[in-house]
Each structure stands twice: as structure tokens, then as C-alpha cells.
A and B are shown apart, each in its own frame.
Chain A
Amino acid sequence: MLRFLARRIGAAALLCVGITLVSFILTQLVPGDPAAANLGQRAIADPAAVDAFRSKYGLDKPLPVQYLTYLGNVLRGNLGESQQSHRAVAQDLAEYVPATIELALFAIVLSLLVGVAFGVLAAITRDRWPDQVLRVVSLGGVSMPTFWVALVAFYLLFFKFGLLPGGGRLDPGMNAPPHVTGFYTVDAALAGQWDVCSSAALHLVLPSLVLAVYTVGMLMRFTRASMLEILGNDYVRAARAKGLPERVVIVRHVLRPALVAIITVAGVAFGSLLSGAVLVENIFSWPGLGQYAYRSAVNLDLPAIMGVSVVVAAVYIVMNLLVDLLYGVIDPRIRLT
């Protein structure tokens, strides 16, 4: 188990280093000169100002040196300074990341509950009408452009009928709870501010519903497929033959082994939630990574782009690492490898 752990963590760490390399190479592809993009018209004509800018950001050194400097900084938690906000990227991100993670966690729990339940239902009613209906539902879910669902949901549920709050994390005029985790629902509950907590939870509903549309479809399809695969096993027939109630057969003999596969996909699903957040946060004015990423990309704010992709990929890798470790809990055979 320890060796398994060490190998997985080592692989994840290597991937993280690889990610910094990818984002570093990407920024080297940028055709625009960052000096030109960030200095005004007047300053760009002044060679001294350009040189000063270049040496301030280390742009005058050879590329491998620039990369190593960058990597060293990242390891020390220094992601550079955003050329737009003139603040440390790490500081910007610390503000935005919790908002997105809170949203994504809310959405993944929702998608797992709904997706697995519907997937099981589809598998046990295979080829009958509930399965057929659910198949269309799940294919519909993975076919909808998330940003469009966001727009339609925003229009109907907020603008037209006012059922749910529209944008932001809290009602206007409400102050953020004291910072502990950065998750407003948790922080407010810790501080005992129940009105803030319920407002934060209500604001989560609409964006996380929208985000879950895709992942529910994905998890539903996958749950159905892995349930069906396992249903074909002889031990399932044996369990039925010895007269176990169908409920027990499905939950203990089929769903439990199927969960191993489902958990893998949940890791991927979390990644698609992070992607979805980029598209959805703009519409719900959700002050998270998505909005920040978009603003930095448009402004070619190199350190910010690097920071965002590194952090998102790192979160994604950690999520998948957790998933790998969960295997060991669910499927004892894996511990041996």
C-alpha cells in the first residue's frame, strides 16, 4: 500500500512539473510581445523602458533559465505578478479558487447522486421504456452547450420567474463571512451567520445545476454501461439463484464493483466541471477561476494565464490522485499492486 501510494504521488508530482513546462512553452508561442502589450505607446518607443520591463520580468535571459526561474518560483508558491492587476497571481488565485472549488464540489455531489441513481435505474430496466427515456436524457445532457444552458436557465429561473438568485455568491448588500476555508457556505455556518449561509447555498443552486447537466449525462451513461457489464457475470446469476432479493444483488453484487469504474469517471467529471466553470462563471458573474482565466487570456496576461492553467491542472491531478487512492478502499485487490 505504501509503495502504491508513493508511486502514485510521485507520478502526480512529475505531472505537475510537466504542466509548468507546458504552460511555459505556451507562453513562448505568444506572437505578441508582452512588453508591447503592457507598456503604453509612448514607453514602447523608449528602449530603456523596454529593457527595464524585460529585465524586471526576466525576459532577457535564455529560455531554459527563464523556465528554471519560473519553476523555482512556482515551487515557492510565487506565480509571478499579474500584468493586469499588478498583484501577485497567487494572491489573486487564492481569492478566486475557493469560489470555483465550492461550486464544482456542489455540482459533483449533485451529479453523482442523480447520475448514479438514474444509471442504475437504466441498467435494471434495460431496453424497456425507462432505459430508453434515460438514454435520450443522458445523451441530451452531454450534447448541450453548457454556456447556453447557463443562459437559458438564467433567463427562465432568475429573470423570468425569479425562482432563484441570479448572479454572484451572496445577496447584494450582504457581507462575506469571515475567511476560513473560502467556501461561503462553510464559513458562514462556522461563524453562525445562518442568513448568509442560506443565501450562499441558494446562490450555488443555479450555477451548479447548470454545471451538473453535462456530468449527470456522462455519469448516467457510464453507470449503466458498467452495471450491464457486471450483470453478465456468473456470480450475479449465482447470487440470484441462491434466492437473494434483487435489491441486495443489485446493490451489493453489482453496484459495488461498478463503483470502481464510476469513481474513475468522477475524476474526469470533476475536470469537465472545472472546464464548465470557465464557460458558466461569466454568465452568473461568479467570482471564480473561470472569470479570472477568461480576463487574463483576453489581455494576454502571461503570468496570470500560467498561474491559472497550473493551478487548475494541479487541482485536477490531485482530484485524480484521490480517486486512485479511493480505489484501494473500494476494491481491495488493487492494494496488492
Chain B
Amino acid sequence: MTVTDPARVDLPVSTRRDRAAVRSPWRQPLAIVGAALVVLWVLVALLAPLLAPHGPLDQLAPKLQAPSGEYLFGTDELGRDVFSRVVYGSRISLPLACLLVVLATVLGAVVGTIAGFFGGWVDSILMRLADLVFAFPGIILAMAVAAALGPQLRNAVLAVVVVSWPSYARLVRGLVLSARNSEYVAASRLLGSSALRTMLVDLRPNIAGPVLVMAALDVGNAVLLLSGLSFLGLGAQPPAAEWGAMVAAGAANFDRWWIGLFPGLAILTVVLAFNFVGDTLRDALDPRTARAIRD
């Protein structure tokens, strides 16, 4: 028996332009800028102790100093070095955003697969639950959940997960529904695969792509939501060097522009980076826009 690469079997005959449309993301300047920014921020987070001249909580400097050669981003109301705090802030925002996107993806994927695969009342119940979450504007529900659980960074992460999983569940359910009736799933079932095996072995690879794009796009949103909760005082608690909380401190001293400006710029660049990458990926992989690209 000749072994053919299974990935190649049902590829449609593609034109040269098709392939260019799929390959192009890494040639587009936006994606490159985005990826470079992501790498840069990851490096900053990893090397924070080397980059920051002071500890994030050190109250050494004179208070409320404007940016200068010594204090690049100035100092805040307690005399802490804003530059060092922004650098250390990446160690809070980046890992937590990734963690909560992973949690939301896994939760949403499990719920969506179960709903799509079994259908019937299981599907109805799970999807009505998702509808309920969608009925709230994101941060309103996140705020209520975070307030109910108590103002803590960990609870803010949970709150954002609670708000985020339904979009993954809907996406995965739709993908499972359209894949469920395909011949390869029928073949697999006929060969005696269990429901679980079919889901994990046959369905998962066909669902992973779109879900990953959604997750990539979602990291930016996660950073925004999480820092928003911290800004409201429902996430990171003082004295933690969290960007949203730092902007809140800037709002309390709004005439000293540097306290709020730089942590906000940090949030902006991180979110922008993930959105650049995610947006390019979506353009390349989404069949609807891909059609528009091809014509």
C-alpha cells in the first residue's frame, strides 16, 4: 500500500494566487511588526530584572518627578520608578492574558464540542447558557463576577474567562456541526471509533486552525479586559505593578501625565501587536475574506 500524505489528499487544485494568499501573512509588514513587538515584550518580561534600574516596589526616587535621564518615565506618587514598573508589569499582564485565553479556549472547545457532537437537549442547554453570557456587555458581567468573587487578580482572571468562553463554544460547535456529517467522520464511526476518539482524532485537527486564530485575536482583548478590571480596582491590588492599576494611579494624578501615559502605551503596544498578527492570520485563513482576496 502506498502511503500518501493525508493532508494532501483532498486539497483542491490550487492556483498560484491561492497559494500566495495563504503564504503571504509572514510577508506582510503588519504581521512582521506585530510579531516583532510580541517577541520584544516577551524579552522584556523575561529580562525584566536586567532592564529595570529599580525594583517595581522600591520607593527610592523623589516623588512625582517628570521624565528625565535618570528616571526615563518619571516617578509616581510614592516615588517609584515608572519605567521599572512598566517593565515589571509585563510579567503580570502577558502570562495572565495567555493563561486566561488558554483557559477560555479549552473550556469553550470542550463545551462547543459536546454541544455540537451530541446535539439535542445537551446542545440547547449549553447554547442557551452561552446566549446568556452574550446578553451582557463583556465588562459589565466581568465586573459583576469579579466583584462577587472579591477584588483580586486571580478572580479578575476567572471573571474574564467566564466572559470569554462562549465565543469559542459557538465557533467550535459550528465547526463540529459542519464536520459531523462529513464522510470521514462517518467512516471513522463505521470503523468502530468511540465518540471520544472521533472528537479527538478526527475532529480536533479540523477545528484547531480557526480556534487558534480566534485565540490569537483574543489575547489582545484579554489584556484589555484584565487591565480594565484592574483600572476599576477589581483586579490587581496595590502595590502590584499592573498596567491598568498604574493608569488608575495616573488618573488620580492626571496633571502628572507621565504616570498614566507610559503604562497605557504598554497596554496599547501589546494589544496592537497581537491584533496585527491575529488580523493578518484571519485575513489569510477566513474563507470569506479569502474569496475577496482571490477575485
Most buried by A among B136, B232, B244, B261: B136
B143 at interface, CB cutoff 8 A: yes
**Alpha-carbon gap, A19 to B136, bound state (A):** 8
**B267 A148 Cβ-Cβ under 8 A:** yes
Interface string of B129-147 (1 = CB under 8 A from A): 0011001111111011111
Most buried by B among A21, A136, A145, A293: A145
B81 at interface, CB cutoff 8 A: no
**Alpha-carbon gap, A242 to B212, bound state (A):** 44
- Chain B interface mostly: helix
A139 partner, pick from B264, B279, B295, beta carbons under 8 A: B279
Most buried by B among A136, A147, A271, A317: A147
Chain A residue nearest to B271 (CB atoms) is A143
Complex contacts, A154 vs chain B, CB 8 Å = 254
**A29 B135 Cβ-Cβ under 8 A:** no
Complex contacts, A95 vs chain B, CB 8 Å = none
**B147 A305 Cβ-Cβ under 8 A:** yes
A151 partner, pick from B128, B264, B272, beta carbons under 8 A: B264
**Alpha-carbon gap, A278 to B139, bound state (A):** 8
**A19 B135 Cβ-Cβ under 8 A:** yes
A45 at interface, CB cutoff 8 A: no
Listed stretches A2-10, A74-82, A294-302; interface member: A294-302
Given contacts A154-B254, A275-B139, A313-B135, contact A148 B147 (CB under 8 A): no
**Alpha-carbon gap, A309 to B135, bound state (A):** 10
**Alpha-carbon gap, A155 to B251, bound state (A):** 9
CB of A257 to closest CB in B, whole Å: 14
B190-248 contacts to A (CB < 8 Å): 220, 224, 227-228, 231-234, 244, 247-248
**A143 B232 Cβ-Cβ under 8 A:** no
A26 partner, pick from B131, B144, B254, B260, beta carbons under 8 A: B144
Given contacts A15-B131, A294-B232, contact A232 B139 (CB under 8 A): no
CB of A266 to closest CB in B, whole Å: 14
**B135 A279 Cβ-Cβ under 8 A:** no
A229 partner, pick from B128, B143, B254, B288, beta carbons under 8 A: B288
CB of B130 to closest CB in A, whole Å: 11
Interface string of B254-270 (1 = CB under 8 A from A): 11010011011001100
CB of A63 to closest CB in B, whole Å: 15
Given contacts A136-B30, A305-B144, contact A283 B251 (CB under 8 A): yes
Complex contacts, B271 vs chain A, CB 8 Å = 143-145
**Alpha-carbon gap, A169 to B165, bound state (A):** 37
**B138 A275 Cβ-Cβ under 8 A:** yes
A309 partner, pick from B141, B232, B276, beta carbons under 8 A: B141
Complex contacts, A232 vs chain B, CB 8 Å = 291-292, 295
B106 at interface, CB cutoff 8 A: no
**Size band of the B side of the interface?**
35 or more
A225 at interface, CB cutoff 8 A: yes
A20-68 contacts to B (CB < 8 Å): 21-23, 26-27, 29-32
B135 partner, pick from A229, A275, A308, A317, beta carbons under 8 A: A317
**Alpha-carbon gap, A229 to B135, bound state (A):** 28
Given contacts A229-B288, A232-B291, A275-B138, contact A151 B143 (CB under 8 A): no
A94 at interface, CB cutoff 8 A: no
A203 at interface, CB cutoff 8 A: no
A312 at interface, CB cutoff 8 A: yes
A140 at interface, CB cutoff 8 A: yes
Interface string of A288-330 (1 = CB under 8 A from B): 0000011001101000010011001100110000000000000
Chain B residue nearest to A297 (CB atoms) is B147
**Alpha-carbon gap, A293 to B272, bound state (A):** 29
Complex contacts, B291 vs chain A, CB 8 Å = 229, 232
**Alpha-carbon gap, A256 to B205, bound state (A):** 38
CB of B259 to closest CB in A, whole Å: 10
23 A-B pairs within 8 Å (CB atoms) are namely A23-B144, A26-B144, A26-B148, A27-B148, A139-B279, A143-B220, A143-B268, A144-B268, A145-B224, A146-B228, A152-B261, A155-B254, A229-B289, A232-B291, A271-B138, A272-B138, A274-B140, A297-B232, A298-B147, A298-B151, A298-B234, A305-B148, A313-B140
4 other A-B residue contacts (CB within 8 Å) besides A225-B288, A316-B135: A142-B275, A151-B261, A232-B292, A300-B147
